Structure 1
Amino acid sequence: MVDDVTGKNGHAIIEEARSSPDLYIIKTHQKPLTDDPAIYVLRDGRSSIISFFHYLGRQGNRIVPMEFIIDGVPFSSSWSSHFAAWNPTTRSNPLFLRFENVTQDPNSTILQLSEFLQKPKIGNFDQSFEKLNALSPQFFGSDDDQKNIAEIKPFWGLFVARHGPLMRQIGKISEEKCLPVLKSYCTELEGKMALVNLAAEVSNLAEVEYHRFDLLSSRMDSFAVGLTNMINQMTIIEKHSYEHYLNLTAMITKSREMDETDKIS
């Protein structure tokens, strides 16, 4: 476990593993250091984030705002960026597992692991969640994904803005459901800040790859620049420059056209 080995960094452990005739299995939550064979377990982002939120609370009562966890602030990366770093769908020689399949049918997972590691299966997994929770209640908090998913609803807009693309990619949310959520989230942001700052906020949604949302962000960036230019032109008009007055009216007309285009799209 890279995070828990004292005095050795990840590269040192990997080099040690490569030079050993024995099988090394390194468990880590960090981003990959090499392209060695990897087993990647993906959990629904909603449940994963809620689970981590409660885990931090159980480990020394660490109270971390939910927004920070959605953004990946208390960790090395967010849920989406971690997946992108490991990229188990295109990575060379991966074993890509879904959390729900592992928990619902662990013995099929054992067979997959046996084949991947080229090690014989020596038994079945017969531990119930209740037994695991009794052994380590701080680690095994809840096995109810639906309860976790329901708990993230107050932060749904932020979550979809940050992780909507990956959720669509893995089939957890449809494109049709993303649009109204993003639109509502933008309206919420607009109510919290000046319009000129809204473009910067939308641009900060770094992991949103949704083309219509990217288009919105781009247009809002352009509008912010245009607004700044309009303010400059208004200052120049004070010097009674008719040419700059015409420039200003042209800018206003263009901004209105952009607004009407946004309403149509």
Structure 2
Amino acid sequence: MIIMGTGTSVGVPVVGCQCMVCRSQNPKNQRTRTGVLIRGPQGEFIIDAGPELRLQLIREDARLIQAAVFTHAHADHILGLDDLRVFGYQMNAAVPLYCEEAVEAQIRHVFSYAFTDPAIHTHQFAAPKLRFERIVPGQAFTVLGIEILPIRLKHGDLPVLGFRLGNTAFLTDMSTIPAESKELLHGLDTLVIDALRKEPHPTHLHVNAAVRLIHQLQPRQAYLTHMSHDLEYEALRNELPDGIEPAYDGLKITLT
């Protein structure tokens, strides 16, 4: 697993902001929108497709993205979807998108040109080739030989998904977790979890809330993601308990 982006919806630096974090020269304070790249024995796929997806994939030397899995349909998690266009044509097949019904509906709305009559396009490569695969919380599915368990989370009032891949879990964009979902997250080696800022937020975990949840779940190692410009990497790293660190763009995690 490669953490391609660790930033909140506007990224870091924030356009026009002159705060210390946004002006920082430390690359670990430069956060593109949140998402991950999974490299397995049968190929590469992504979880979420943020606006910088093309640049993230180039940075990580990705070769052929064969599928995408989605946590939810907010703009910072789907707007890079058109960057999968090249892969559909390389494979001469539609790229499968694994998501819930509500996410499919939003993707079809935002990227309507990908699902219209091909005759309206100016050339044969004008739209990505995409198809949908429905996923259901609590029902495991397999992508390129890797079993994935979707786990129900709440992002404010919005139902979203986190994912467990073996003993590694990715829980971004969340504020609460149902009790039955916690039962699916014991025995983790690695947990990547939302931590927007230090102050409470109505739809995201803040740092202290993330730390409390980490202590409940007791993974061997935890990383914070989806961070705003309120969090400076080195200062946060020094404040966190042992076994918890801020993630950064490009962080590599071995799936276990």
Q: TM-score range by the shorter chain?
A: under 0.3
Q: Which has the higher helix share?
A: 1
Larger radius of gyration: 1
Higher relative contact order (CA 8 A, sep 6+): 2
